[in-house]
Structure 1
Amino acid sequence: MFRSLLFLSLSAGLVHAEAPPRPLVPIMGWSSWNHFRVKIDETIIRGQADAMAANGMKEVGYRFVNIDDGFFGGRDAKGNLLYDDGKFPSGMKDLATYIHGKGLKAGIYSDVGADTCGSQYDKDQKGFGSGLFGHEEQDLKLMLKDWGFDFIKIDWCGGRKQKLKEQESYTKLSKTIRSIRPDVVYNVCRWQYPGDWVKDVADSWRISSDINARFDSIMAIVDKCEPLWPHSGPGHFNDMDMLQVGRGMKPEEDRAHFTMWCIMDSPLLAGNDLRSMSKETLEILTNKEVIALNQDPLAYQARRLRDDGDLEFWAKPLGKIDGGDVAVVLLNRSDKSADIAFDLSAAGIDPAAGYALRDLWKHETQTGLKDATLRREVPAHGVVALRIKGKPAAANPFAK
């Protein structure tokens, strides 16, 4: 499913294919919810855009600056959606224009139902009645066309409260969004895998309840997402939620978290304050070699090929299913460092033909290897991430 891409080239004398309206690889960016929840304002959002454009994140692919819940100002007497002009005195259109001026894209938020999640859980009184219900076309036209936002996350708190039908509601919203602007990236935030129908409706979809900055929360989401790999592919991705890198976990846990989101093709939306993060956090978020696994055009979600309790062996093909270019991640969930070994043939590589090995966190390369089995020490709550290039093994572990 979704495993092949057709690349047509004028230079090759073939018919030129139009560029897809939306990205075929997971989006990268930042979102306000994890760090700020509803306590956002114009200064905060502009500051994130400024930081992303200047600190190296933009250069490695981060583009979206997404405003989550907390910007609403209720509705006027005619039902027109308002923004909070105390928080956003320059207005939402001006803010989107500012973000665009940095060479970035702007994202926005709403809910299927009448009330937003912030109104229910964060006592944001202005979120009551600010959801899309009953104002779908009116609000989406305002946010996506008049204000100019390029991404929209649509939550389910109001929809759940009103007992709406999720497939019917999200499908209707998809049709409206595509009619207004086909290029807008649409995220369904239902807090569980919605069902196979969603791949024809949205660009990405949440598969779990909200993430927390704890290693057990990270691992729980990994486990929920792993069996969903057949539903992921170019332009359609399982969303494992916003990143918690730089929000209180240990560095090894942050590296493990970021690596798993990358190999499992989740959208990469930083959830920390970009204005004040440490050098170490920035280095994790901008590791180009790990990001390359996430942005690979094959868009094959990594699979857990062996589970030895707390010690796991994951892999995914890159470029082609049988191209001899494979990413391997060794994951240690335990509280102590441990050795993890794997056979090259189990990763789809023929060791007898020789292969090259790249450690993506140490940035070290070995060539001319022929060992049939590799063994690495993996730190507690950590990973070892490898990229292996060689001749494909006779048996392909990634074929369906």
Structure 2
Amino acid sequence: MVAVRASGVVVVAVVVLAAAVGVQARPGSKGIKPLMGWNTWCTQNKCGVDWCTSDEVLDVAKTIKASGMLAAGYDHINLDDCWGLRDPKTHEIKGDPVRFPEGMKAFIKKIHDLGFKFGLYTDLGADACHSPFTGSYPYYAQDAATFKDWEVDYVKFDDCNLPDGHTKEELSCDMSSELLKTGRDFWLCFHCDWNSDTCAKCGTSFRIAHDHHDEWDSTSSIIDVLAHNRQPYWGPNPTYGLPDPDFIFTGGQGCGAHSPPGTRCPGQTEDEYMSEFSVWTIAGGSLLIASDPRNMTDFMARVWFNHEILAVYNDSASLQSVRAIGNGTLSHARHTMHLHAQRKQEQEQQQQRQRHDLKPLASCALEKQLSHDPCVQGVSFGCNGDETMWTDHGCRGIFTCDGVQDVTCNEDGSGKHTCKCVTTPPPPSIVLARPLSDNSTVAVVIHNAAMVNQTLGFHFSAVPERAWNSKTTLHVRDLWRHADLGKATGSFSTFVPAHGSAFLLLSPAS
């Protein structure tokens, strides 16, 4: 089942996907189980400027082990950008000697001695995404040999600074080949924005969307990709490759100016963080935390240690079966209410446009900043005078643009971006189903994309790979509350808070 948008309404249609068609996935034993761990990005500073040290990484690793997270499966410690320098004479890659004074090999051994696997970052270009740090071009073979010598387990291969005359697909697969030639079994993850099965042939996992930020608009857009842009080559090794929706931010990222250990500045509500974790676990193949686990709150522990949800996530054989089965609408009356809400929104936009016709063009104002980089009118955002606006220097936000309110311009990446002066409608709510590999139970996430509380549900007949119908009676268990909700026949509906998600497990009633 997939959801197709038509005139603002989500229509659920049946699509026959190629079942269990192999793609000669990347060789090796990695990727049979999905990834779990912690990444250095955004921990003690705002994302993009978190230049950590070996002492800080080791301190977090020790906390993760002592807290029980390692035993729960969070077994990767991944060092992101802003560590690597290139020796101008030997061209060897090495760690920043000020922040990693013991050298990378000795540092990585300390991580391994704690019981973790170790991952690090490099880039397909000569430079990494952040100056003055190095990428791997054109030293892929040399860096692969170095990573083997250091006993690296995981390589994140970013896509900044693409060299002239090459494609991202070509260079990502080139790095995959060089890592394989070393004989070490690396986990390789890269951005896969060309969307073909070479993502799985060359990568153990691969990024499926833009960089994830600790803000709801970013989370919501990736939820939409996980629900509606699923590919037949998403799945576990040895046949497929794992989809990586990027980091999770439970509890919040760092606060900037190298905040003290365990200090966080949340960009989302608890309900939104629970939706992030719910959809990542039911539909994705990577759980990499980008929050500081020191001074862990009860809420963070309740999310990260939810053994029932992690059991669904680790049932990797069922990842291929995930489908979007509806938008939470059960009755004709509720469907009509959705249409009325859609028409009201269209009328409001038309009224805004009419008001705009009476005003001079090229007027812009910031309503809400979404980026951590500042949004300054005339410097990092402005209007073009043709019913479009621009952003630059990392500014992302919600604006009033040429008289139209609630215009989202949330484009990632460096350089100047252009957005139309139109209100962006919220995505529809989503119901995701994952028939588990026991051939009996089914995990379901009901996600409320609206800004208001709703009662949402689904019909049992919509669940794939099960011969359920309007007369089927099932046990329903709430995995967030660890509570049995009783039996339901034919369908199930429940209260879901704004931007929140219900995570359910269905099983046949005896």
Deviations 1:3-34 (A, max 9, x none): 499xxxxxxxxxxxxx9621312110011123
Name the residue aligned to 1:8.
none
Alignment of 1:257 with 2:276, yes or no, is yes
Shift of 1:78: 2.1
Gaps (5+ residues) in structure 1?
A: 6-18, 120-124, 392-400
Alignment of 1:338 with 2:342, yes or no, is no
SS across alignment from 1:300: helix
Q: Identify, as 1 or 2, the structure richer in helix.
A: 1
Q: For the residues of structure 1 that align with 2:41 and 2:185, how far apart are their CA atoms?
A: 24
Q: 1:240 to 1:71 in 2, by over 3 A?
A: same
Alignment of 1:241 with 2:359, yes or no, is no
Shift of 1:279: 2.1
Name the residue aligned to 1:11.
none
Shift of 1:273: 1.0
1:19-168 equivalences in 2 (<5 Å): 21-35=29-43, 36=45, 37=48, 38-119=50-131, 125=132, 127=133, 130-143=134-147, 145-159=148-162, 162=164, 164-168=166-170
Shift of 1:163: 5.1
Q: 1:390 to 1:234 in 2, by over 3 A?
A: same
Q: 1:193 to 1:331 in 2, by over 3 A?
A: farther
Q: Number of matched residues? A: 365
The one-letter code of the counterpart of 1:169 is L
Q: For the residues of structure 2 that align with 1:301 and 1:372, how far apart are their CA atoms?
A: 21
Q: 1:295 to 1:165 in 2, by over 3 A?
A: same
Alignment of 1:279 with 2:298, yes or no, is yes
Q: For the residues of structure 1 that align with 2:472 and 2:324, how far apart are their CA atoms?
A: 25
Bigger radius of gyration among the two = 2
Alignment of 1:311 with 2:311, yes or no, is no
SS across alignment from 1:113: coil
Report if the CA contact (8 A) 1:245-1:270 is conserved. Answer: yes
Q: For the residues of structure 2 that align with 1:294 and 1:162, how far apart are their CA atoms?
A: 40
Q: For the residues of structure 2 that align with 1:295 and 1:314, how far apart are their CA atoms?
A: 17
Q: For the residues of structure 1 that align with 2:500 and 2:305, how far apart are their CA atoms?
A: 18
Report if the CA contact (8 A) 2:472-2:489 is conserved. Answer: no
Report if the CA contact (8 A) 1:41-1:87 is conserved. Answer: yes
The one-letter code of the counterpart of 1:238 is P
The one-letter code of the counterpart of 1:371 is T
SS across alignment from 1:358: strand
Report if the CA contact (8 A) 1:155-1:189 is conserved. Answer: yes
Report if the CA contact (8 A) 1:330-1:384 is conserved. Answer: yes
Question: 245, 264, 267: which is aligned to 2:286?
Answer: 267
Q: For the residues of structure 2 that align with 1:306 and 1:370, how far apart are their CA atoms?
A: 18
Deviations 1:40-92 (A, max 9, x none): 11111101211111112112211100001111233242212221111011111
Shift of 1:225: 3.0
Q: 1:311 to 1:62 in 2, by over 3 A?
A: same
Q: For the residues of structure 1 that align with 2:278 and 2:289, how far apart are their CA atoms?
A: 13
Alignment of 1:302 with 2:305, yes or no, is no
Report if the CA contact (8 A) 1:193-1:208 is conserved. Answer: no
TM-score normalized by structure 2? 0.68
1:223-242 equivalences in 2 (<5 Å): 223-226=224-227, 227-235=229-237, 236-242=241-247
Report if the CA contact (8 A) 2:323-2:434 is conserved. Answer: yes
Q: For the residues of structure 1 that align with 2:323 and 2:159, how far apart are their CA atoms?
A: 29
SS across alignment from 1:158: coil
The one-letter code of the counterpart of 1:158 is N
SS across alignment from 2:141: helix
Q: Give the 4+ runs in structure 1 shifted more than 6 A.
A: none
Q: For the residues of structure 2 that align with 1:297 and 1:351, how far apart are their CA atoms?
A: 29
Among all aligned residue pairs of Structure 1 and Structure 2, give the percentage whose two residues are the same amino acid: 26
